A and B are shown apart, each in its own frame.
Chain A
Amino acid sequence: AQKITQTQPGMFVQEKEAVTLDCTYDTSDPSYGLFWYKQPSSGEMIFLIYQGSYDQQNATEGRYSLNFQKARKSANLVISASQLGDSAMYFCAMREGRGSGGSNYKLTFGKGTLLTVNP
């Protein structure tokens, strides 16, 4: 089974509108973390936002917020007031528990959503 599922291969949004990118995850570990990364056409991976499984409140970072619904195992990214520069691939990722060595935080990524912001 896929650990991270992003069901939207592509999304379009008008400039200045809000957009939600979906992410569902699968884990039996009670301790995990969820990440969103942005990959523009230049190729680098840019960290956007992090949510820990024990965090009580949804994470927010500027125009980015994470709609964390633990019971549904979803961690959707909300981008408010979209800008042309938001056009990029967006990846949801998860790290689970602790591996050997006490702190193995390897990430499992989804396949990504290509967001296009229209002027």
Chain B
Amino acid sequence: NAGVMQNPRHLVRRRGQEARLRCSPMKGHSHVYWYRQLPEEGLKFMVYLQKENIIDESGMPKERFSAEFPKEGPSILRIQQVVRGDSAAYFCASSPWGRDSHEQYFGPGTRLTVT
């Protein structure tokens, strides 16, 4: 049973470009969470999605950031017009539905560097 997959593992973008980060949850998991980790900090919640629905986006910056989890395919975190302050590690976590849904399994993260 493959774990949570994220790609790319490392992404370099110039200021003003777009960054697309992909997350494939574990098989059978229908909940996806995105977190951001700035250097020397803990992870901070960004958004919680279920298939085709954004449930909680209270941690997302108001501009330039968007997320989706389509019926088919991976969840995508999209950052438009990146700035240096977007440089961080972005982690995706997935969990199952139901009784054990408190368990979150993290992917390896995508390290975004904005030059």
Contact = CB atoms under 8 A, between A and B. Distances in A.
Interface residues of A, number: 27
Contacts, number: 72
B36 to A, nearest CB: 11
Contacts of B91: 45
Interface residues of B, number: 28
A25 to B, nearest CB: 13
Contact of B106 (A47, A104, A108, A111): A47
Contact of A33 (B44, B102, B108): B102
B50 interface: yes
Interface of A: 4, 33, 35, 37, 43-47, 50, 52, 91, 93, 95, 99-101, 103-112
B55 A111 contact: no
Nearest to B91: A45
Given A43-B89, A109-B42, A103 B101 contact: yes
Contacts of B109: 43-45
B92 to A, nearest CB: 10
Contacts of B111: 43
Contacts of B55: 99-101, 104
B97 A106 contact: no
B45 interface: yes
A104 B56 contact: yes
Contact of B104 (A44, A99, A100, A107): A107
B44 A109 contact: yes
B18 interface: no
A46 B95 CA distance: 14
B104 A105 contact: yes
Contacts of A110: 42
